[in-house]
Amino acid sequence: DIVMTQSPDSLAVSLGERATINCKSSQSVLYSSNNKNYLAWYQQKPGQPPKLLIYWASTRESGVPDRFSGSGSGTDFTLTISSLQAEDVAVYYCQQYYTTPFTFGPGTKVDIK
């Protein structure tokens, strides 16, 4: 199974400042036939289901604010919130969908400093 790790476990950032979350997979999730990384990022607020933010490691889902961006390839990935807003307080998960089981990272809690 592909093991997903995230760092940090939690972070507190001032409003308007940058938040950076890292995700690492135990093996590459780059699909060589189409050169796409099968890595997604989700945001989950309390009492709500997860919401897809980013897929293919760096493609923003429709309707997601452009302050959210994803980067990385192979085994190392990053989610960046360029200017943290109050509504961004949530837990963020990465997930690989390269091969089953489609494992999630443990999550990173983002709060306001």
Binding other proteins by CB under 8 A: which of 19, 25, 37, 55? 55
- Please count the other Cβ atoms lying within 10 Å of the Cβ belonging to residue 55: 19
Strand partners, 42: 52, 93
Q: Which is nearer to other proteins, 9 or 87 (CB)?
A: 9
Tokens coding 61: 């889902």
CA distance 98 to 37: 8
Residue 42 makes contact with other proteins by CB under 8 A: yes
Contact residues toward other proteins (CB under 8 A) are 1, 34, 36, 38, 40-42, 44, 49-52, 54-56, 59, 61, 91, 93, 95, 97, 100-107
